[in-house]
Amino acid sequence: MKILVVGSGGREHALVWKIAQSPKVDKIYCAPGNAGTAQLAENVSIKSDDIQSLLKFAREKKIDLTVVGPEAPLVAGIVNLFEKEGLRVFGPRQEGAQIEGSKVFAKQIMTKYNIPTAQSGIFTRPKEAIDYINEMGAPIVVKADGLAAGKGVIVAKTKQEAIDAVKLIMEKMEFGSAGEKVVIEERLVGEEASIIAFTDGKSIVPLASSQDHKRVFDNDEGPNTGGMGAYSPAPVVTDRLMEQIDVEVLRPFVAGLRQEGIEYKGVLYAGIMVTKQGPKVLEFNARFGDPETQPILMRMKSDIVPIFEAVIDGKLDDREIEWDERAAVCVVLTAGGYPGKYEKGVPIRGIEKIDQLDGVVVFHAGTGCVSSACNAGPDIVTAGGRVLGVTALGDSIKFAIDKAYRAVDLIHFQGMHYRKDIGKKALKYER
Ligand code: AMP
Ligand code: GLY
């Protein structure tokens, strides 16, 4: 098979890495890819949201299966476009991708089908949003409706902070049309977990649980990022809780979408807050999580390609996925200044030293090559905010953490930043 992976982050490198292990696969392309995917796939310089050029490429190369990483092409309708041309593609159609493309839409479905989530109001006028904030008081959470590159959610400690957020989103239009509507909701308290599942619109097969680290600094301080690290499994998600999430969240959500006339196929990602009252949904995404995918796929023993095909063909049924019993931890190395302004083109040293370490993989995110040869050693430079995801397997979370950080110590680039406490929340369950 010839497979095209769309995207250029750590998630896509992990997908390419996993797909490359499938005996069904002869050739992988990645658009646009990074310096990591270049070593396993042929990078194609088409941006991931240029869906017309992707279609043209897939037709020309007779791609057998396209796997879409990021949300933007899904929301833009890449799946509808490819399907119309008879091309096989993994991901939800545009109608389904709204669960991520519109927080208002996701909230309306959750409310209609009684899926546990924060109490909220939906507003199209700033005045009404501000009145609601004044009525509800703080802390309170303000969310821009549309895609805002992870920056459209403000967890406000004071009423003033929330009102400022409404003005930024709805009046200054900081996120463009993504801010025409807002969701304002109660702040939930608890531990977060990422629940990611395959679904063919009928059956649901959850992947191993995981936990992300959204804030840029240790102890969950500083602004939100795309994710500074992740581990799997997340011990906060006990078997009982997983069952509860399956029954109360995943199943009614997919069934609800079906009732609305939407056959949702692909990956369903539920961001969950485990509160004292039980699990509640923070958000739904229409794709694999990044960086959660890196530790999850390190642990997946089953071939992923037949799963993609089963989802597309509506034959997922009760397919079992085999998991490595070990834990995996991914530490993200970022450019200095991220999630704010940062430099690009900084040489990265030491990645090749990781090859000697057993059970460690460095997934590239924002990396590029200075020459077309793209030699793993001297040629690699930074090209984004999140640069690398150093991912290690260990017999326990603690061993995986230690191994990941030992590997991190071998890598260096100017301005490199990372959290020193990835996985720490899991340790209280291991003691
Ligand atoms: P979202 O993109 O909706 O997942 O929001 C990004 C992050 O903001 C989440 O991972 C949480 O850390 C935080 N967040 C979102 N909604 C809430 C909420 N209702 N209560 C507390 N924190 C929240
Ligand atoms: N790591 C969070 C996300 O992928 O949305």
- For the segment 359-370, the average pLDDT, to the nearest whole number, is 96
CA of 108 to the centre of ligand 1 (A): 17
CA of 292 to the centre of ligand 2 (A): 7
Mean pLDDT, the chain, whole residue set = 96
What is the C-alpha separation between 192 and 186, in angstroms, rounded?
A: 15
β-pair partners for 185: 120, 141
Q: How confident is the model at residue 322 (pLDDT cuts 50, 70, 90)?
A: very high
Classified by CATH at the fold level, domain 191-318 comes out as D-amino Acid Aminotransferase; Chain A, domain 1 (3.30.470)
Position in ligand 2 atom list of the atom nearest CA 230: 1
* pLDDT tens string 194-252: 999 999 999 999 999 999 999 999 999 998 899 999 999 999 999 999 999 999 999 99
Q: How confident is the model at residue 376 (pLDDT cuts 50, 70, 90)?
A: low
CA of 423 to the centre of ligand 1 (A): 19
- Looking at the structure, give the CATH architecture of the domain made up of residues 125-180: 2-Layer Sandwich (3.30)
Say if ligand 2 is within 6 A of residue 290 CB: yes
- Output the residue whose Cα is nearest ligand 1's atom 11: 282
- Percent of the residues in the chain that have a pLDDT greater than 90, as a whole number: 95
CA of 185 to the centre of ligand 1 (A): 10
Long-range contacts of 242-246 (CB under 8 A, 24+ apart): 242/195, 242/206, 242/209, 244/278, 244/279, 245/195, 245/270, 245/272, 245/279, 246/204, 246/206
How many Cβ atoms from other residues are within 10 Å of residue 251's Cβ?
17
CA of 153 to the centre of ligand 1 (A): 7
- Output the residue whose Cα is nearest ligand 2's atom 3: 289
Say if ligand 1 is within 6 A of residue 191 CB: no
Cα 285 from chain centroid (whole Å) = 8
Select the CATH number that applies to the domain covering 2-91 from these four: 3.40.50.300, 3.40.920.10, 3.40.50.20, 3.90.226.10. 3.40.50.20
Among 9-13, 220-224, 369-373, the minimum mean pLDDT is found in 369-373
Query: According to the model, what pLDDT value does residue 106 have?
Result: 98
Say if ligand 2 is within 6 A of residue 100 CB: no
Classified by CATH at the fold level, domain 327-430 comes out as Glycinamide Ribonucleotide Synthetase; Chain A, domain 4 (3.90.600)
Angle of helix 251-259 versus helix 103-112 axis, rounded to 10: 100
CB-CB contact of 359 with 394 (8 Å): yes
Q: Which residue has the tokens 């009928």?
A: 202
CA of 419 to the centre of ligand 1 (A): 20
Say whether pLDDT at 378 is over 90.
Answer: no
Say if ligand 1 is within 6 A of residue 282 CB: yes
Query: According to the model, what pLDDT value does residue 372 have?
Result: 74
Query: According to the model, what pLDDT value does residue 355 have?
Result: 84
